[in-house]
Chains A and B, each alone.
Chain A
Amino acid sequence: MEINAVLTLQHQEDSFAGKLYLFPPFLCFVSLDRKSVRFTIPLSTIRRVERLNSRAGVFALSLVLWHGMKMIVQLTSMRSTAEAFCDRLRDGLKVQLQLGQMKQVKPFAKTLYSETLCGDSLPAEKSKDGETSPLVDVGATAAAAKMGVEDADDGGEYHRGLGSEFKFPGDAKKLREASKIKLWTAYLRAHGRHLTLARYPQCTRLIQVGLPNRLRGEMWETLSGSLYLRFANPDVYQSILKEHDGKTSMSTEEIEKDLNRSLPEYAAYQSEKGISSLRRVLTAYSWKNPELGYCQAMNILTAAILIYMSEEQAFWLLEVLCDRLLPGYYSPSMHGTLLDQRVFEALVQRCLPLIHEHFTSVDVQLSVASLPWFLSLFINSMPLIFAFRVIDCFFAMGPKVLFQVGIIIAILKINGEKLLEIQDDGAFIHLMRDYFASLGDSAHPNSSDPRVKNITNFQELLLVAFREFSVITDETIISERKRFRAGVTSTLESFSKRAAIRNLKFTGRFSKDQCGAIYDLLFKAIWEEPPRGTGVTGSVDSTGRPETRISMNTFKQFLCYVASWARNELVVSNGFQQRIQRDVVDHALINRLFYSWDYSSKGALSLQDIVMGLEGVMFNDLMSNIEWFFKLHDKDKDGSLSKDEVLQLSESLLFIFRNEPGDAYLGAVSRFMTNAFEYGDSLLEKGDDATGDPEEAPTNQPYLTLPTFRMVVLADEILESFFDSDLSASFRFDEPAAPLPDEPTGLLGGLMSTILTKENKNLFNRVADEIGKTIGKHQVDQRPAIGKLGKELALQEPKPRETLLTPRQRSASSGAAPSASSPEPSTLSSQSLPNVSQLSLSERTPVPPVTPLIPTTIVMERQTFAIDAAKDDDEEEDSMYAIGGDDDVMDEVDAFLEAHDSGLTDAQKAEAQGEARIRSFGAASDIFLV
């Protein structure tokens, strides 16, 4: 809940108008200009709320925080709103009290150095809340610590970084530590501290001159917001460490490699103490965020922040950095890094067009130099003391600082016009390196005024950065990131696609483009149906690169795209649109393929497996296809099929032919079975006369060999043609001249293309179907997998070839064959009930819309599976066009819409009726979608 308010702090003269927000468990304030004053305080730090005696029309609250600071907020919204706000605030506070959060504040504060700074000055005000002496104690221990007493285990001890033991970088005197601390102490006393810090303009100024070393860690936490995470998640860091103690992962191995090479020049990282702190923080984070794991540069960053803060503080700061401040910078794809480089280049182009132009003309990429700046926040580019000051501003003001500072480096160089002289990457990098090295030098060495002379390059850098480039706001960055996101993503995608294809060890007869098509379909399938199960995750290929593997469920989805028999393809027309709907199917044949393609027996397929698998079938001729199919069903690889396997093979064939029109394929399969068993039995008899009755032979005995299988297949025209070309051709990557345009046309089509997400599309399709059903225009047709046989052909049974059995064989096996084959036709024919009626029709589309208002008019009643009617349907369709059935459709639509309009509000109705029919149509659909 938000409300207009005017904020005044006790003992402060300034008041600021702004907005007060209540997001339990936080209370936030932002001044109207969005930068002068801000605070975010947990409700649990509020100890007392009083309604002040109101003068006429003034509604003011006094909030007393746990350390006694008082702030007055005057609620300037309407009285009822103000009262509602107070109610919410009261409820929120009650919840916090019940949760026991109030009690957490004081122990938490003890971990912070600012309590040591300010603590001893406020005992009097404390007593109001019944909190008396503890704070003094904190002050005492801290004071003791300051004097060099090491007692890290003391619970009352504030968190500190390695710097307190190994010294902070830079000369304390030169950095004017003492006076900075004095200023900050005064500020923190007046404006709250850590959890309750209110940021006034003075705060920003103090940050810009550099935070004092001892306070730096805490202020980073506070400014970045990681403090709130640490407050809300006590003990999480320790428990992550405990839980994963002794475990290793890819990330921990990578971390181990880099531990000795993180700020190695800093004393702490030459000692076991520093190294093990670094190890703990990095590994804990890699366990917390396993998807990100560990990225080089994080080691440098972490090593740097550990100088100023404790492990736990650093852990949470790292979380905020990776998650919020530098999103995607350290992820495995590093998309955030690439994205921000693009943004940076765009900003340079906008702010410094001359430089950008020059760089383009000499073909120098900014990112060659700027990338490490962003990745390690200047820590390994600038001298440490300056890098830390940039980081101060970064935490206080957000990522825009990097862009401002980054750009500024360019602008400062433009002063000497040196940048415009460089001709290549190398000169650019050298220039930058020299400049960084000179940051501590005077910017005006020749000035006679000593004060001017004392201004260092770094000071000038910050000055120009914040004064001249304040036009770069967080909003700029956010919108620029948005602008480039799609581009960067597609670059990355095409990059990983190229790499994946390049790394294929075997591509066989596939061209690069074909491999690309397989890759695309594979990832389309993964997107649609994410792989699950073992063997899928954590796979790495031979070069240690993470490898994508898919499980059975994804494979089915994939095959559904690739093989025409591995999907149920429905042509749905509902009077408005016609679309093809593809559904995944399930059959033992698909499982068989999956396992036969799993060349490394991992229970999951890689891109390589799939390429090899497809290669093994898509280029086959008649003989090799027959062999391929045979082997697919020869589970024990003994070179012959058992009776069971022959049955399974027949089932597979029937599965493939299930949607073919006519009985021809069905007939072919049943003939195949008859022949196969005839042969098998005759061979079996001939082979071992001794065993007696062939019917009693176990069903898992070798029964049919490849040559016999081949002969049986070749005995049938349809099967021969299937194995000759149809099987291989049933695998296709491209959508070959889709009979129906995938993108719907016409009025609703236009509407459809604006409905971007898949869910909306599905919803839309459902709605359209419903309308179609209501007006009797809905129909669904199966499309055949092969579709080779036209209706004419399907209607007449192809003549079976003469059986190849010699008369003697035939007479010998005549007794056995029928018993085995007779049940088949009756049980299986129902599976493959062909549905031919609309076949020719759907293939002849797209039907041109007759009027702009009627997208596709295929006006037919739902057809039963009438093979004979196919011809008539065509005629009927034609006649519908001729006599202008379109009007009828439109009338029906209108009637339907009117019925729906009655349920609309008046406003909607007015809109719907007042506009053209097109509009009313759209409005109605919108409502359905909502």
Chain B
Amino acid sequence: MADNAETSAVPDKPIQVKLVLLGEAAVGKSSIVLRFVSNEFQANKEPTIGAAFLTQKCRLEDRVLRYEIWDTAGQERFHSLAPMYYRNAQAAVVVYDVTKATSLEKAKSWVKELQRQANPNIVIALAGNKVDLVTASSAAGASGAAASNGDDDEDEADDATATPGEDAGEAENPEGLRQVPKDEAQAYATEAGLLFFETSAKTGEGIVEIFTEIAKKIPIDHILNGRGGASRSAAAGAAAADAVNLQNNAPKGKSPCSC
């Protein structure tokens, strides 16, 4: 903190934000990070042992945010190690798999744990991953996914599915895989005060948004000054929101954050 306070005068020195990813095994935590950090996707990613550590810089207004991402192991027995990683975290992404109802339950229990045990100001985002598996052809099935993510969603939906021919045949199947309705998760997120996204690490859908929105919501002045009134940081966050230098629709392009 002391170090950060010194550097607040120098805008180019990045502001460090510790972020932790939590969620059930094999919901795609590591893949989300990989997509965000290097804009890649690996089908067979080795399971995370303990936790992996990655960083990614983002430019926000005139400041540079440096995300320090702790990507934790999902298997239940690694649970007791988690506090080591979410200690002092300013942000958390809790991931579930939209095709697996139990993974949302697990996510809820993580949220509960974070709200009780972690840093009281922690910004939590809930991410329903693997939405590519349930996104049917753009016209019919994308109703859920398209609703909130803006105008670029139609393109995403096309990217998510392999071939148009298959789409037609399985127009109903993809939605059938879905076990967590978007409304339900959204309602829960609102109630618990979380940011909410449906994402696909495979296509890149919604990934950057998570980190952008978190960046907006994080009380940066608070981090910088180590104190700072709540109202002031809220105002700063709101002001920063419009000026975030991240492009929402760049999943195919270069890494979204200029490093």
Contact = CB atoms under 8 A, between A and B. Distances in A.
Q: Which 10 A-B pairs have the closest CB atoms?
A: A371-B50, A543-B105, A372-B50, A429-B53, A260-B44, A296-B47, A543-B106, A372-B49, A264-B44, A426-B68
Contacts of B113: 499, 502
A118 interface: no
Contacts of A297: 47, 49
- Sort chain B's interface into a size bin: 35 or more
A842 interface: no
Interface string B105-138: 1101100110011000000000000000000000
A876 interface: no
Given A334-B78, A424-B16, A258 B47 contact: yes
A496 B76 CA distance: 12
Interface in B10-24: 16, 24
Given A296-B73, A425-B53, A542-B105, A499 B79 contact: yes
Interface stretch (B80-88, B179-187, B213-221, B244-252): B80-88
A896 to B, nearest CB: 53
B80 A254 contact: no
A300 B48 CA distance: 10
A548 interface: no
Given A258-B47, A372-B49, A543-B102, A423 B3 contact: yes
Contact of A371 (B24, B55, B81, B106): B81
Interface string B192-222: 0000000000000000000000000000000
A818 interface: no
Contact of B44 (A261, A295, A363, A503): A261
B166 to A, nearest CB: 22
A544 B102 contact: yes
B109 A375 contact: no
A262 B53 CA distance: 19
A503 B112 contact: yes
B72 to A, nearest CB: 11
Contacts of A263: 46
Contact of A544 (B26, B48, B76): B76
A236 B85 CA distance: 41
Interface in A374-419: 375-376, 380
A502 B83 CA distance: 15
Nearest to A432: B53
6 contacts: A263-B46, A295-B77, A368-B50, A368-B51, A371-B49, A492-B80
A257 interface: yes
B25 interface: yes
B102 A295 contact: no
Contacts of B76: 332, 544-546
- Interface hub of A365, A430, A545 (most chain B Cβ within 10 A): A545
A368 B44 contact: no
B7 to A, nearest CB: 12
A495 interface: yes
A299 interface: yes
B258 interface: no
Given A261-B46, A502-B112, A368 B68 contact: no
Interface in A416-469: 423-426, 429-430
B75 interface: yes
Contacts of B44: 260-261, 264
Contacts of A546: 76
B45 interface: yes
B105 A254 contact: no
Nearest to A374: B50
Interface string A539-571: 000111110000000000000000000000000
Contacts of A429: 53
Nearest to B53: A429
A338 interface: yes
A296 B75 contact: yes
A164 interface: no
A333 interface: yes
B16 to A, nearest CB: 7
A334 B50 CA distance: 11
Given A296-B75, A424-B16, A542-B105, A257 B50 contact: no
Interface string A491-516: 01001101100110000000000000
A777 B3 CA distance: 73
Interface of B: 3, 16, 24-26, 43-51, 53, 55, 68, 73, 75-81, 83-85, 88, 102, 105-106, 108-109, 112-113, 116-117
Contact of A257 (B26, B53, B88, B102): B26
A367 interface: yes
A261 B45 contact: yes
Given A423-B3, A502-B116, A300 B46 contact: yes
A365 B84 contact: yes
B90 to A, nearest CB: 13
A52 to B, nearest CB: 55
Contacts of B68: 424-426
A670 B51 CA distance: 68
Given A295-B77, A543-B108, 18 more contacts: A261-B44, A262-B46, A296-B47, A333-B77, A333-B80, A334-B78, A337-B81, A368-B53, A371-B81, A424-B16, A495-B83, A499-B79, A502-B113, A503-B109, A544-B102, A544-B105, A544-B106, A545-B106
A742 B74 CA distance: 44
A817 B237 CA distance: 80
A296 B49 contact: yes
A333 B84 CA distance: 15
A337 B80 CA distance: 11
Interface string A340-373: 0000000000000000000000010101100110
Contact of A295 (B75, B83, B109): B75
A331 B25 CA distance: 17
Given A264-B44, A544-B102, A296 B80 contact: no
B168 to A, nearest CB: 29
Contact of A375 (B24, B49, B83, B88): B49
A262 B108 CA distance: 29
Nearest to B101: A542
Contact of A338 (B25, B49, B80): B80
B29 to A, nearest CB: 13
A426 B66 CA distance: 11
A746 to B, nearest CB: 42
A261 B24 contact: no
A331 B88 CA distance: 28
Given A261-B44, A333-B77, A423-B3, A368 B84 contact: yes
Interface in A473-532: 492, 495-496, 498-499, 502-503
Contacts of B49: 296-297, 300, 371-372, 375-376, 380
B105 A257 contact: no
Contacts of B106: 543-545
B15 to A, nearest CB: 13
Nearest to A269: B44
A426 B17 CA distance: 11
A426 B25 contact: no
- Interface hub of B16, B26, B46, B113 (most chain A Cβ within 10 A): B46
A496 B43 CA distance: 34
A861 to B, nearest CB: 56
A801 B69 CA distance: 74
A296 B85 contact: no
A218 to B, nearest CB: 27
Contact of B24 (A338, A502, A544): A544
A296 B25 contact: yes
- Interface hub of B24, B49, B109 (most chain A Cβ within 10 A): B49
Nearest to B30: A261
Interface in A235-270: 254, 257-258, 260-264
Contacts of B3: 423
